[in-house]
Amino acid sequence: MLRIGIIGVSGYTGVELARILANHPNAVLTLATSRQHEGRLLSEVYPNLKGCIDITCTNPDQDTLARQADFFFTAVPHKTAMTIVPPLLEGGKKVVDLSADYRIHDVAIYEQWYQKHTSSELIGEAVYGLPELYRDKIKTARLVANPGCYPTSVTLGLAPLLRNKIIDPATIIIDSKSGTSGAGRSANLATLYCEVADGFRAYKVGGTHRHIPEMEQELSVLAGDSVTISFTPHLLPVSRGILSTIYAKNISGAGESEIKSIYKDAYMNETFVRVCPSGNYPATQHVRGSNFCDIGFSLDTRTGRVIILAAIDNIGKGAAGQAIQNMNLMNGFDERAGLLGAPFFP
Amino acid sequence: MLRIGIIGVSGYTGVELARILANHPNAVLTLATSRQHEGRLLSEVYPNLKGCIDITCTNPDQDTLARQADFFFTAVPHKTAMTIVPPLLEGGKKVVDLSADYRIHDVAIYEQWYQKHTSSELIGEAVYGLPELYRDKIKTARLVANPGCYPTSVTLGLAPLLRNKIIDPATIIIDSKSGTSGAGRSANLATLYCEVADGFRAYKVGGTHRHIPEMEQELSVLAGDSVTISFTPHLLPVSRGILSTIYAKNISGAGESEIKSIYKDAYMNETFVRVCPSGNYPATQHVRGSNFCDIGFSLDTRTGRVIILAAIDNIGKGAAGQAIQNMNLMNGFDERAGLLGAPFFP
Amino acid sequence: MLRIGIIGVSGYTGVELARILANHPNAVLTLATSRQHEGRLLSEVYPNLKGCIDITCTNPDQDTLARQADFFFTAVPHKTAMTIVPPLLEGGKKVVDLSADYRIHDVAIYEQWYQKHTSSELIGEAVYGLPELYRDKIKTARLVANPGCYPTSVTLGLAPLLRNKIIDPATIIIDSKSGTSGAGRSANLATLYCEVADGFRAYKVGGTHRHIPEMEQELSVLAGDSVTISFTPHLLPVSRGILSTIYAKNISGAGESEIKSIYKDAYMNETFVRVCPSGNYPATQHVRGSNFCDIGFSLDTRTGRVIILAAIDNIGKGAAGQAIQNMNLMNGFDERAGLLGAPFFP
Amino acid sequence: MLRIGIIGVSGYTGVELARILANHPNAVLTLATSRQHEGRLLSEVYPNLKGCIDITCTNPDQDTLARQADFFFTAVPHKTAMTIVPPLLEGGKKVVDLSADYRIHDVAIYEQWYQKHTSSELIGEAVYGLPELYRDKIKTARLVANPGCYPTSVTLGLAPLLRNKIIDPATIIIDSKSGTSGAGRSANLATLYCEVADGFRAYKVGGTHRHIPEMEQELSVLAGDSVTISFTPHLLPVSRGILSTIYAKNISGAGESEIKSIYKDAYMNETFVRVCPSGNYPATQHVRGSNFCDIGFSLDTRTGRVIILAAIDNIGKGAAGQAIQNMNLMNGFDERAGLLGAPFFP
């Protein structure tokens, strides 16, 4: 059994990693760090895990930490990750980093949207952890940068169309809606129940969300040209789930059946991408608690636009699920190990 | 006191009309029809109204009906409205029709999206009941076609920019999200609690929603040219509220302050349109239970697009509230009568 | 117009007071204090109030404060109220205090459940502000202690049965469920959306909630004897609403129709208490946004128990609505002024 | 692999059975019947199952049906079960029946609360499927009557205290709250999103819910004497989850630590019953999607009552999860097979 350490277990992503690992056939959680909850049972912090996982939160120094696991998930905020990841790699460990710190290949762009990068020497080595695009590189990577939640839905939704030059990249507009768990588990007035429930709003309007450079990087690779997007995130009164509604001009003349074939071909061997039957569209409640990305599309012949819909669980395929998928690949496990539980509905 | 009849009181729009009328200074509800609930107290069907309004649901023939009120709201499905409205007008009554039957000026377009129109002779006379655009015509109308919920949010959001030629009408993309009350109060598997809660999905994807011709009609008038839009509706796990996120190319070179001025000028005298302070955006929970439409925008300088956000309560300004506003205008009352209750939050 | 000051406007009770006052025929809000939001428009803090109320949050010293209004609502935590209320009364003002500080008549009991009381000289003067029980005293009071939310539902639910000796006070068990707004508007992990949504739990189990002595005080008065209760509060995934389910042994032999008469007689002249028709029971969604208390009951002949159900909006009749009702009485206004808006549903 | 048939797959219990079976190590779903969805892929009816389970809904005659599986879950309404179960048993199959038809041992009581029983000859043979109480009998049973959701939470919560004569059975009051999935997946006005969301209500008040005789049967066995209970069910605005709050007089003089020991002893070897640490109480969101029952209690020394709280997922341990647990026992599998996924939170 591979010994796993989660650095930063107290957030919603941390606990979802622990939940998946509790039933993983090849891995066992041996380290769960949390400054805030040091000394407490993880199942006290998250009573759902009672009887499922028996581990105490610790806050060891870097040396101790490295001895207690062979493989690490860093589920800490960006900037913090930069200081934790390098010594782990030096100690011979493999890491999936769930922060944004190693996702952006161009340091200048990273520093423009985030802050100064203090371990930029690792950026070149880090592999962007979207298995459906970079499976082979992930298999041999020491450091995988786990994608952002919005970028996962958007990149999987657009990849087949961009690769096949179906749409005009200059016309891409992305309207995304995320569940509240994406905002994390910290005491915050804006995500109190009464502020979110029975309501809906946009945030970071006008091209200011930090996932934009990440999406533009990946979409540009797929398009073979520099892509600039409009992206507007919204906050849904649900705990889990992202639905991205994506608009772009059809410049190919392709009809519905051709586009359907393109999606089918692209994802026929992908366990975790499900292309919806014609006339059906994804719903976040159908991917809840899973590592699936559901994709549907429609051709609006009145306007010549394609509308693509992609749904994920933001802490599943959008974070912890995908991280486990990457871990599986990096260690030669069955890529699906631990991830085959069906989404729960209702 | 003006005697009011609600034809079709049993839906969510019907009960919201009754709720507002319960405190209206100039009008009194004297007739509430419901085939399904004939003979029951309205406050039995909707216990929230107990002690607020004392009326029994009836199902009279057309003659009796006409005698029991002076002013009518027809809150029935399209097609049914066509058979109820004409005799009311012949009997000298004024009507606000909340169905789609008299919204579309071009019969051919109506028949293409709905079905055969059997009282098309009234279409020319019917006034589109968006007071912020057609106040003067509404004041003298016998028949007002109350706008659809999505079109209300979209038209108010875009009117100032189209009139001032700020945006390219060919680039308009509308991503709307509606609360579940918009689906009505009929037993329907798709709107069961367990199907909607903790979830999110699109519907009528690909330019097929029947509000499209209504929006295109109004946006075309504002643009002074024929407008075709992309429109995608989504179902929110909230009871009340619509947020429309609208994208369009800025072709004017106007900056943020100029656009802000355009909105301020357009709505400075409008009680029910609130322009958000810079950097603030509408939220459905801030218009809940009211007749307000909140509008915000942002200029995405990276892409040259304007993003407009408009929020309403779909059964307030999107239906019953606006219908009362129209009734006020048609009868010389203070336009705001009965509608000044502040939105409730949380 | 009576000039009103709200001390502590930033909580959910504060904003609900402001919302009601925005349409009150006899009162106008002239002072709204908030340390946290000093200098900000109230409608910036609570955008639902935009266009409804135009006031800036201030944080004046006690002297200035007293000059800016004639009547005060103190919507501050207990203990803080004790320091604010006495100088207001000395300055000749009338006060409705929404904290717990003046609700308990017996200082020893107050100090056992809360902390040391520093203005106990006012306790004797303060009137418990449940108008259905103490209307006449409230009319002439300088200081009214606005009841707690749970006690309001419980006391109104039990009063007729205790007065008429229908039930055995020693057998009273109260199982209450409250919406999350009752926990206030402060950043708190336990009331984050993701912690509350799609879930349900009890808290303060085992007779430890501070509303217990308040309920026992009032129930003892009604029973004419000392009453001890079992009380368990629960947290509902709703914003507004309390439902109390109350169990007690029927010791009177009274049947359903007799008990029905007792409730009808007790509340026939009470605008804000609605007794449900037989076979119907209260629902929080039917009192939402209002000052109503809905009451229903059933006789379980198998066990000889009466089950009483009482529903209120916890920030309506459970806080701000009742406070306005008290203000109306204290100033000779129509008791219902500002409070006649029908509950909104859905 | 054991071949499994689900009779009545279209309800929420049916789909949950299918979801669990999709990952069961010893069983495979070979038959899924639905009159309504005959000929459709189950993953079309429930898109969450796409890629997880590949089966088409059928509606075969009894003979065909019996050939297509070795073990059956009957997830049909009571009364229907009576006609389906007998021929299955005659054909040599084993059955877990999820209806109420074989839960009540006394035909007269069954017929008093339900309707005429047409296969009462099987009642004596049927084993009540609560493994924590009847494990040995279940292992050898042909027909197991899967307990109701409310009774599961209540019986597990009370069993240790009744067996140890800690509480007075005559004083038991049960206040239960259930998620909306308990009402099933049929188009029904009362369970529409807008009727349930942001609200809370009781139903079947006054000792009329059909789970009462089932609970009384089991509690009487445990108490060694006839028990009559007060039971009030409520409808929660959540999809999954039941919390039962149970009150009873402590007649034993036992203190908190003694009662704690009794619970610990009772459930120390039970995988699916988790006793909460002192001062902690169950929450439905911590058992969501699982087969766990979480139990906590408090001693109210002021009133001499014990308050017991028990939480389950109503379609997990309250229906499908427990049914799988019974199937495991009846077939000699590991009792926990397929049921070890940790509850998901948030």
Are B99 and B192 part of one and the same domain? no
In a shared domain, residues D302 and D203 = yes
Residues of A in contact with D340 (CB under 8 A): 22-23, 52
Answer whether A245 sits within 8 Å of B309, measured CB to CB: no
User: Cβ D205–C299 below 8 Å, yes or no?
Assistant: no
Residues in chain B predicted with pLDDT less than 70, given as ranges, are none
CB contact, 8 Å: A198 with chain D? yes
Nearest CA in chain D to C256: D206
Domain that includes residue D256, residue range:
150-314
Q: Which residues of D touch A240 (CB under 8 A)?
A: 346
Number of C–D residue contacts, CB under 8 Å: 149
Chain A residue numbers with beta carbons less than 8 Å from the beta carbon of B286 are: 199
Does residue C223 sit in helix, strand or coil? helix
In a domain, C260, yes or no: yes
Per the structure, the count of domains in chain D is 2
Tell me whether residues B51 and C274 touch, CB distance under 8 A: yes
Catalytic residue among A52, A57, A149, A276: A149
For residues C119 and C202, state if they share a domain: no
The reply to whether A156 and A262 lie within a common domain is yes
Q: Is D48 close to A287, i.e. CB distance below 8 A?
A: yes
What is the token pair recorded at C198?
Answer: 């799609």
Is B316 part of the contact surface with chain A (CB cutoff 8 Å)?
no
Compute the nearest-CA separation of C58 from chain A (Å).
21
Reported as a single tens digit per residue, the pLDDT across A281-313 is: 999 999 999 999 999 999 999 999 999 999 999
> Number of helices (H) and strands (E), helices first, in chain B?
11, 13
Residues D252 and D299 in one domain: yes
Q: Do C129 and C277 sit in the same domain of this protein?
A: no
pLDDT above 70 as % of chain A? 100
Residue B30: count of CB within 10 angstroms of its CB: 18
B282 backbone dihedrals φ, ψ, rounded to 5°: -65, 155
A177 is written with which tokens? 């809606």
Phi-psi region of D204 (alpha: psi -120 to 50; beta: other; left: phi over 0): left
Question: Cβ contacts of residue D208 below 8 Å, gap of 6+?
Answer: none
Q: Which 8-state DSSP code applies to residue A317?
A: I
The answer, for B200 touching chain C at a CB cutoff of 8 Å, is no
Q: Is C46 near chain B, with CB under 8 Å?
A: yes
Asked if A344's CB is within 8 angstroms of D294's CB, the reply is no
Instruction: Mark yes or no for CB contact A197/C12 under 8 Å.
Output: no
**D337 domain-assigned:** no
A89 at interface of B, judged by CB pairs closer than 8 A: no
Cβ distance A187 to C185 less than 8 Å, yes or no, reads no
* Residue D5, min C-alpha distance to chain C (Å): 31
Contacts C239 to D, Cβ<8 Å: 198
User: How many Å lie between the alpha carbon of A145 and the closest alpha carbon of chain C?
Assistant: 26
List subunits contacting chain A, requiring 3 or more Cβ pairs under 8 Å: B, C, D
| pLDDT per position as a tens digit, D184-241 | 999 999 999 999 999 999 999 999 999 999 999 999 999 999 999 999 999 999 999 9
Record the tokens describing residue A131, joined without a space: 């298995």
Choosing from C149, C194, C276, C293, which is the catalytic residue?
C149
Minimum distance, in Å, between the CA of residue B56 and any CA atom of chain A:
31
D71 located within any domain: yes
Using CA atoms, how far apart are residues B284 and B289, in angstroms rounded to an integer? Answer: 10
- Nearest residue to D323 (alpha-carbon basis) of D74, D126, D111, D107: D74
Count contacts between A and C (CB, < 8 Å): 60
Residues of B in contact with C54 (CB under 8 A): none
CA distance A152 to chain C (A): 22
Residues of B in contact with D189 (CB under 8 A): 185-187
- Choosing from D57, D149, D276, D293, the catalytic residue is D149
Which segments within A143-269 are labelled E, that is strand?
143-145, 173-178, 201-202, 230-235, 242-249
Mutation target for A interface from C10, C15, C194, C314: give the one with most A CBs within 10 A.
Answer: C194
Q: What is the distance in angstroms between the Cα of A158 and the nearest Cα belonging to chain D? A: 21
Residues C101 and C155 in one domain: no
> Is residue A339 one of the residues assigned to a domain?
no
Residue A305 burial by Cβ neighbours in a 10 Å radius (0-12, 13-18, 19+): buried
% chain B with pLDDT above 70: 100
CB of A342 within 8 Å of a chain D CB? The answer is yes
Question: Residue C249: which H helix or E strand, with range?
Answer: strand C242-249
Most C CBs within 10 A among A193, A200, A345, hence the mutation to make, goes to A193
Q: How far apart are CA B235 and CA B72, in angstroms?
A: 30
Q: State the CATH number of the domain containing residue A96.
A: 3.40.50.720
- What is the pLDDT at residue B342? 95
Is the CB of C286 less than 8 angstroms away from the CB of B48? yes
Residues D84 and D203 in one domain: no
Compute the half-sphere exposure of residue C212: CA atoms within 13 Å on the CB side of its CA. Answer: 25
What's the burial of C108, exposed, middle or buried (CB within 10 Å: 0-12/13-18/19+)? exposed
Q: Is residue B345 in some structural domain?
A: no
CATH of residue B252's domain is: 3.30.360.10
Q: How many CB atoms lie within 10 A of CB B305?
A: 24
Which candidate, B172, B165, B266, B167, places its Cα nearest to that of B224? B165
Residues B188 and B260 grouped into a single domain: yes
DSSP code for C319: I
Residues A167 and A265 in one domain: yes
Considering only CB atoms, which chain A residues are within 8 Å of C194? Answer: 12, 180-181, 185, 191, 239
What count of CB pairs under 8 Å joins B to D? 60
Interface of D with C in 212-251 (CB under 8 A): 228-230, 232, 234, 236-241, 243, 245, 247
In chain B, positions 153-182, which contact chain D (CB-CB < 8 Å)? 180-181
Q: How many residues does chain A have?
A: 346
Distance between CA atoms of residues D215 and C229, nearest Å: 26
Q: Cβ separation of C180 and A195 shorter than 8 Å?
A: no
Nearest to A99 by CA among A64, A149, A159, A30: A149
Percent pLDDT > 90 in chain A is: 99
Same domain for D165 and D102: no
Peptide bond into C151 cis (omega under 30): no
- How close D344 gets to chain B, by Cα (Å)? 14
In D, which residues are within 8 Å of C346 by CB distance? 194-195, 197-198
Strand pairing category for D242-249 and D173-178: antiparallel
Active site residue C149: yes
From the candidates B149, B194, B276, B293, give the one annotated as an active-site residue: B149
Among the partner-chain residues B19, B239, B286, the one whose CB lies closest to the CB of C342 is B19
Contact A247 B194 (CB under 8 A): no
Q: Please check whether residue A135 lies inside any domain of the structure.
A: no
Name, in order, each residue with C-beta under 8 angstroms of A92's C-beta and a sequence gap of 6 or more.
none
**CA count, 13 A, side-chain hemisphere, A225:** 10
Q: With respect to residue D344, please indicate whether it lies within any of the assigned structural domains.
A: no
Please classify residue C92 by burial: count the beta carbons closer than 10 Å to its beta carbon, then call 0-12 exposed, 13-18 middle and 19+ buried: exposed
Contact D187 B185 (CB under 8 A): no
pTM over 0.95: yes
Interface membership of A285 toward B (CB under 8 Å) = yes
Query: What is the residue-level pLDDT of chain D in tens, covering all 346 positions?
Result: 999 999 999 999 999 999 999 999 999 999 999 999 999 999 999 999 999 999 999 999 988 999 999 999 999 999 999 999 999 999 999 999 999 999 999 999 999 999 999 999 999 999 999 999 999 999 999 999 999 999 999 999 999 999 999 999 999 999 999 999 999 999 999 999 999 999 999 999 999 999 999 999 999 999 999 999 999 999 999 999 999 999 999 999 999 999 999 999 999 999 999 999 999 999 999 999 999 999 999 999 999 999 999 999 999 999 999 999 999 999 999 999 999 999 999 9
What is the rounded (10 degree) CA torsion for C78, C80, C82, C86? -140
CA atoms lying within 13 Å on the CB side of residue C207: 18
Residues C164 and C305 in one domain: yes
Does residue C344 fall inside a structural domain?
Answer: no
Whether D286 and chain A come into contact, CB under 8 Å, resolves to yes
Distance from CA of D213 to the nearest CA of C (A): 12
List of chain C residues whose C-beta atoms are within 8 Å of the C-beta of residue B277: 44
Q: How far is A321 from chain C (nearest CA, A)?
A: 19
Residues of A with CB below 8 A from D341's CB?
A: 23, 341
Cα A68 to Cα A90, A94, A130, B160: the distances in Å are: 15, 13, 27, 62
Residue-level pLDDT, tens digit, chain C, 346 residues: 999 999 999 999 999 999 999 999 999 999 999 999 999 999 999 999 999 999 999 999 988 999 999 999 999 999 999 999 999 999 999 999 999 999 999 999 999 999 999 999 999 999 999 999 999 999 999 999 999 999 999 999 999 999 999 999 999 999 999 999 999 999 999 999 999 999 999 999 999 999 999 999 999 999 999 999 999 999 999 999 999 999 999 999 999 999 999 999 999 999 999 999 999 999 999 999 999 999 999 999 999 999 999 999 999 999 999 999 999 999 999 999 999 999 999 9
